[in-house]
């Protein structure tokens, strides 16, 4: 994951007046014209409201000083604009606002006080009115400074510098003062980091010493420290660190809040220095010292900043549980402020760590929030950080094109910002991305770009060598990978990449070394709560131990890994993230199934149990979660000691619900129960496609058998060859027969002698088999099509099949209510309209005239009308329309309603709208093109429209596998409804008879016309 440097923001502590804070020189007396108002707050009422107006020609300065609390300040003008939005405190640590009569006519002040440490909260509001006719120079200078501060977040960096330069110029005409020093500091704080800044900060520090303004000097020195750290100047960083600590000894007794805030930040700088020199014990001790100071700091914004620094360092050191807890608390604390930049940073850091821990849904939602805030703040460097993090997530999830586009965007943003250090990280990740795609030349090009920005820091060298080794490993160059990993690593140093080392030894077939390094990786990832790393490490360890001859141990290791998958799956609340995550874990289940079959060939259900864990799990989860409220587990930032907050947050992050994963014994009983309830004459043909060996289970109430099939690559080739001949416009009928016979032999040859005893076949496909029309295949024993002898339906898994059998959509209405049919028929054009009208007329004729179907046609078939209708109970919902499938982004697939796909996509029926509907239907018929197709995810099958209707609540779906011919479809639908409604056939029988009728018509006897439609879900009558 992208690792930007620790960004330390200038201290913005609780407001203290200039008089109380800095004015120790007799030449700079405190301003005695300040009017002061002190407000005490009760525990149940922590809000202050005041309305003010500024007299004409005068200037009002407001300063807010909290006690034992932090502030959320908003000052609204008559237009409703917040004049205090996203403002950080100034050099004097003041929450200060300067207003004119044009600003406030009138203004409303809203202050929320956030109490800390159970102490009574108070607020001192100080105000000063300046007559601009008497002091025009001061008013002009203060106006210029206030203008620059208000524009700081809404204009370009160049404009910001110009605004502050004008303000500083105005202040230069005035006598020396702290306010003049403050204006110069704010200008430097807003400017981009340059070498000239270092000189300017040195001059400011000299002036602060003259004024004996020690807290102000401490903040200037802190900015010097930050500049040196950003420029990788270790010697200068250490010098400024010593100078800051000397200044803090003067502040310790006069301003404890400033002392503890800057002391904690200094400890984080020290911790980062220790990390770069790999002094890990000293690094940890410095983090502990910084954390120990948090309870002494009243300002929650400062607490959040320090927590983000703590979390950042934990992440760099791969202590991901500690990092997540720190950033979670930082986000909670920042939410108590009005500082949008701080909230953005907190959300970003937590998003990055959450992605590293496999919490992809949470990570993407956090990063989306951070991206919105970065855009609002016009912060291109943070937009680049966020984009790069999203790119890394896309890469981990296998969305290669999306990742590539996002990395290119991040690269452009970093180049525009001159962030060369960050560019190095993006180049390394792009090198990894292209190596995963099998593009070694492009990968090598990005590695060369990264090398140009490589520093001599051990951390930089390590990241580069690991990426280079991974690129070689992805190309199958095992020896080169081993050399790359060790070439830039200091001899005798601790192995920081045990998993990568284990993978290299596995590639070299050094089983013992692979196992030893994989064990070290498991230990590391378990300590760090790095779930994704732990899964990969356990896979390598299981593979190594199996090759060493320890099959039982390998199975135990995989069992621990799959237990983690099941637990982690519960955290992925968005289904598309859950699906992609589980698809990436296929290798674990494939290995487990292979070992199980070899070790226990007679235990048929044990192997089936492994396969079932991987099949359509997120669909089954979605079915179980329907209408189940999600509890709110967000913790509030209570007035608790920091140690208690951290312990509570860590405990919540590390908790594993014991009931989340059923035991093997429970799963075995569930499978046996489901199989025992299959009706007589019904068999499930359950497929699993493996990289080395595929399998077919024949499952009926009284018989279970498993057969070995060719490996996935060979099956995939046979499927592609068959489908290539299926379209009569491009294929050859003889070649189609030959390819069909070959595919039928591959898939059904072993079970062919048993098929005649079954009338109903429920196909549970896997992988590319979801595209195959089994009704058009042959029984290899007698060479007759399955359509002639079997009612065929499809299920995504045994669990979903069993669910639809046990959970009726209409508990109160088990039989068909003929008045309950909804026909959705948007406007179509030309010959399509003629075929559609014939289809609808045939359906209507099959319905009693006294209770005609409810029809949404023409303009009535708009999005509002359809979604409202779907909320009502219908036995059958029939769509006669067009579809648009998005193979790369399934959630963008649509059913056409009224309007144009391209110009009015929001007016169509999208997958997410379907999923969100509370559908109460026994059967959904999708009479349109390729409604059962979609992007195929391993284990889950096609991510298309038919699946969305199941997630919405449908019990059965009739959908098409490819683009259908309109006139042939109209005939199939007419015959299907006659069989279903007039003949009272079961749905699968009604479909088979309709397909047979079309197949016997010489015009439509090619399988392309009659085999497209497939029946999914409960095959029995309703």
Mind listing the pLDDT tens digit for each residue in 694-749? 999 999 988 889 999 999 999 999 999 999 999 888 888 899 999 999 999 999 99
Q: Would you state the pLDDT for residue 508?
A: 94
Once rounded to an integer, what is the mean pLDDT over residues 65-80? 80
Cα distance between residue 590 and residue 606, in whole Å? 14
- Strand, helix or coil for residue 120: coil
- The upper half-sphere exposure of residue 387, i.e. CA atoms within 13 Å in the direction of its Cβ, equals 23
Q: Would you state the pLDDT for residue 546?
A: 94
User: Contact, 993 vs 958, CB < 8 A?
Assistant: no
pLDDT, tens digit, 9 for 90 and up, residues 593-631: 889 888 888 888 888 888 887 776 667 766 666 644 444
Q: Would you state the pLDDT for residue 793?
A: 94
- Phi then psi for residue 534, to 5 deg, are -65, -40
Predicted confidence (pLDDT) at residue 662 exceeds the cutoff of 80: no
Cβ burial of 368 (10 Å; 0-12, 13-18, 19+) is middle
The gap between the terminal CA atoms of the chain, to the nearest Å, is: 51
Cα distance between residue 99 and residue 849, in whole Å? 76
pLDDT, tens digit, 9 for 90 and up, residues 917-930: 888 888 999 888 87
Once rounded to an integer, what is the mean pLDDT over residues 667-677? 69
Once rounded to an integer, what is the mean pLDDT over residues 560-580? 62
Calculate the average pLDDT of the chain: 80
Cα distance between residue 217 and residue 945, in whole Å? 64
Q: Would you state the pLDDT for residue 789?
A: 94
pLDDT grade for 6, boundaries at 50, 70 and 90: very low
User: Contact, 590 vs 562, CB < 8 A?
Assistant: no
Peptide bond into 822 cis (omega under 30): no
Once rounded to an integer, what is the mean pLDDT over residues 108-124? 77
521 contact partners, CB below 8 Å, separation of at least 6: 498, 499, 502, 533, 536, 537, 540, 541
pLDDT grade for 350, boundaries at 50, 70 and 90: very high
Ordered by start, the domain boundaries in the chain are 1-23+36-79+101-114, 476-599, 818-1016
Cα distance between residue 396 and residue 356, in whole Å? 10
Domain made up of 818-1016: CATH architecture:
3-Layer(aba) Sandwich (3.40)
Q: Would you state the pLDDT for residue 459?
A: 67
Cβ burial of 753 (10 Å; 0-12, 13-18, 19+) is exposed
Cα distance between residue 739 and residue 721, in whole Å? 6
Predicted confidence (pLDDT) at residue 426 exceeds the cutoff of 80: yes
Q: Which helix (H) or strand (E) holds 755?
A: helix 752-755
Q: Would you state the pLDDT for residue 223?
A: 84
Predicted confidence (pLDDT) at residue 897 exceeds the cutoff of 90: no
Once rounded to an integer, what is the mean pLDDT over residues 783-792? 94
Predicted confidence (pLDDT) at residue 154 exceeds the cutoff of 60: no
pLDDT, tens digit, 9 for 90 and up, residues 853-886: 888 887 888 888 888 888 888 889 988 888 877 7
Predicted confidence (pLDDT) at residue 10 exceeds the cutoff of 60: no
Predicted confidence (pLDDT) at residue 995 exceeds the cutoff of 80: yes
Better pLDDT: 328 or 378:
328
pLDDT, tens digit, 9 for 90 and up, residues 473-486: 888 889 998 998 88
Lowest mean pLDDT among 16-20, 228-232, 313-317: 16-20
Predicted confidence (pLDDT) at residue 347 exceeds the cutoff of 90: yes
Q: Would you state the pLDDT for residue 235?
A: 87
> What's the pTM?
0.64
CATH of domain 476-599: 1.25.40
pLDDT grade for 757, boundaries at 50, 70 and 90: very high
Distances in whole angstroms, Cα of residue 758 to Cα of each of 683, 761, 793, 801, 1021: 6, 7, 13, 18, 18
Peptide bond into 106 cis (omega under 30): yes
Share of the chain above pLDDT 70, in %: 81
Q: Would you state the pLDDT for residue 718?
A: 95
Q: Would you state the pLDDT for residue 611?
A: 83
- Strand, helix or coil for residue 1014: strand
Predicted confidence (pLDDT) at residue 693 exceeds the cutoff of 70: yes
Once rounded to an integer, what is the mean pLDDT over residues 432-451? 88
Share of the chain above pLDDT 90, in %: 22
- Phi then psi for residue 830, to 5 deg, are 60, -140
pLDDT grade for 906, boundaries at 50, 70 and 90: low
Better pLDDT: 159 or 102:
102
Q: Would you state the pLDDT for residue 568?
A: 63
Predicted confidence (pLDDT) at residue 453 exceeds the cutoff of 60: yes
pLDDT grade for 216, boundaries at 50, 70 and 90: confident
Q: Would you state the pLDDT for residue 666?
A: 47
pLDDT grade for 569, boundaries at 50, 70 and 90: low
Once rounded to an integer, what is the mean pLDDT over residues 49-69? 83
């Amino acid at each position: 994951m992208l690792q930007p440097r620790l960004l330390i923001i200038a201290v913005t502590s609780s407001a203290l007046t200039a008089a109380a804070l800095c004015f120790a020189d007799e030449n700079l007396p405190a301003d005695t014209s300040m009017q002061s108002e002190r407000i005490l707050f009760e525990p149940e009422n922590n809000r202050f409201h005041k309305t003010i107006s500024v007299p004409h020609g005068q200037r009002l300065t407001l300063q807010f000083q909290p006690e034992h609390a932090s502030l959320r300040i908003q000052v609204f003008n008559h237009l409703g604009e917040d004049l205090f939005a996203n403002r950080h405190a100034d050099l004097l640590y003041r929450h200060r606002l300067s207003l004119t009569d044009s600003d406030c006519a009138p203004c409303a002040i809203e202050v929320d006080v956030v109490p800390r440490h159970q102490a009574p909260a108070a607020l001192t509001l100080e105000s000063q009115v300046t007559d601009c006719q008497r002091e025009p120079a001061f008013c002009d200078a203060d106006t210029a400074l206030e203008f620059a501060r208000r524009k700081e977040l809404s204009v370009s960096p160049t404009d910001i510098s110009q605004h502050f330069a004008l303000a500083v110029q105005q202040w230069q005409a005035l006598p020396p003062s702290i306010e003049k020093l403050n204006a110069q500091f704010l200008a430097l704080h807003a400017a981009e980091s340059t070498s000239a800044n270092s000189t300017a900060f040195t001059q400011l520090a000299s002036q602060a010493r003259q004024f004996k303004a020690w807290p102000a000097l401490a903040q200037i020195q802190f900015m010097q420290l930050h500049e040196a750290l950003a420029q990788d100047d270790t010697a200068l960083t250490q010098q400024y660190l010593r100078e800051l600590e000397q200044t803090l000894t003067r502040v310790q007794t006069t301003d404890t809040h400033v002392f503890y805030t800057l002391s904690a930040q200094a400890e984080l700088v020290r911790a980062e220095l220790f990390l770069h020199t790999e002094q890990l014990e000293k690094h940890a001790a410095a983090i502990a010292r910084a954390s120990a100071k948090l309870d002494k700091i009243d300002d929650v914004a400062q607490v959040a900043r320090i927590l983000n620094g703590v979390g950042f360092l934990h992440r760099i050191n791969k202590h991901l549980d500690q990092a997540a807890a720190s950033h979670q608390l930082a986000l909670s604390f920042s939410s108590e402020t009005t500082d949008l930049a701080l909230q953005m940073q907190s959300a970003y850091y937590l998003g990055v760590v959450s992605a590293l821990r496999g919490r992809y849904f949470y990570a993407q939602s956090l990063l989306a929030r951070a991206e919105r805030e970065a855009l609002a703040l016009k912060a291109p460097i943070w937009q680049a950080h966020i984009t790069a993090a999203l790119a890394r997530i896309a890469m981990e999830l296998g969305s290669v094109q999306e990742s590539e586009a996002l990395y290119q965007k991040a690269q452009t943003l970093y180049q525009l910002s001159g962030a060369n250090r960050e560019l190095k990280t993006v180049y390394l990740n792009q090198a990894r991305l292209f190596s995963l795609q099998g593009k070694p030349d492009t990968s090598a090009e990005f590695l060369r770009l990264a090398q140009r920005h490589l520093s001599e820091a051990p951390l930089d060298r390590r990241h580069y060598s690991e990426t280079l080794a991974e690129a070689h490993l992805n190309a199958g160059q095992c020896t080169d990978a081993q050399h790359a990993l060790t070439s830039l690593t200091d001899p005798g140093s601790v192995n920081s990449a045990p998993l990568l080392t284990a993978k290299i030894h596995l590639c070299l077939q050094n089983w013992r070394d692979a196992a030893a390094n994989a064990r070290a990786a498991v230990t590391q990832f378990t300590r760090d709560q790095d779930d994704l790393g732990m899964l990969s490490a356990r896979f390598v360890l299981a593979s190594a131990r199996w090759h060493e001859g320890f099959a039982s141990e390998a199975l135990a290791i995989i069992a621990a890994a799959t237990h983690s998958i099941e637990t982690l799956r519960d955290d992925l609340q968005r289904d598309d993230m859950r699906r992609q995550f589980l698809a990436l874990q296929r290798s674990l289940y494939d290995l487990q199934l292979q070992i199980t079959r070899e070790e226990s060939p007679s235990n048929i259900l044990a192997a089936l149990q492994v396969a079932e864990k991987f099949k359509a799990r997120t669909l089954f989860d979605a079915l179980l979660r329907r209408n189940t409220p999600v509890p709110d587990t967000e913790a509030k930032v209570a007035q608790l000691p920091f140690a208690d907050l951290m312990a509570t947050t860590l405990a919540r992050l590390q908790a594993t619900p014991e009931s989340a994963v059923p035991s093997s014994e429970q799963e075995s009983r569930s499978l046996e129960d489901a199989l025992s309830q299959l009706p007589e004459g019904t068999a499930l043909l359950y497929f699993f496609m493996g990289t080395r060996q595929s399998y077919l289970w024949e499952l009926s109430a009284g018989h279970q058998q498993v057969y070995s099939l060719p490996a996935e690559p060979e099956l995939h080739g046979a499927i592609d060859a068959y489908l290539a001949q299926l379209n009569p416009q491009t294929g050859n009928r003889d070649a189609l027969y030959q390819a069909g016979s070959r595919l039928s032999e591959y898939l059904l040859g072993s079970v062919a002698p048993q098929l005649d005893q079954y009338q109903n076949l429920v196909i549970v496909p896997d992988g590319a088999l979801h595209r195959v029309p089994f009704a058009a295949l042959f029984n290899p024993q007698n060479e007759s099509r399955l359509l002639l002898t079997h009612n065929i339906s499809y299920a995504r898994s045994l669990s979903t099949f069993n669910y639809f059998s046990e959970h009726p959509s209409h508990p109160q209405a088990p039989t068909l209510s003929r008045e309950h049919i909804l026909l959705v028929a948007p406007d179509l054009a030309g010959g399509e309209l003629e075929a559609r009208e014939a289809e609808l007329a045939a359906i209507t004729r099959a319905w009693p005239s006294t209770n005609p179907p409810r029809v949404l046609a023409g303009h009535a078939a708009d999005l509002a009308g359809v979604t409202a209708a779907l909320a009502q109970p219908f036995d059958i919902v029939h769509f006669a329309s067009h579809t648009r499938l998005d193979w790369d982004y399934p959630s963008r697939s649509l059913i056409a309603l009224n309007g144009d796909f391209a110009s009015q996509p929001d007016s169509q029926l999208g997958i997410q709208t379907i999923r969100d509907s509370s559908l109460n239907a026994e059967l959904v018929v999708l009479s349109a093109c390729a409604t059962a197709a979609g992007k195929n995810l391993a284990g889950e099958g096609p991510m298309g429209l038919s699946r969305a209707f199941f997630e919405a609540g449908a019990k059965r779906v009739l959908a098409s596998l490819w683009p259908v011919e309109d006139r042939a479809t109209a005939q199939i639908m007419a015959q299907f409804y006659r069989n279903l409604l007039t003949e009272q056939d079961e749905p699968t029988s009604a479909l088979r008879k309709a397909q047979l009728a079309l197949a016997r018509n010489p015009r439509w006897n090619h399988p392309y016309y009659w085999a497209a439609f497939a029946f999914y879900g409960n095959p029995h009558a309703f």
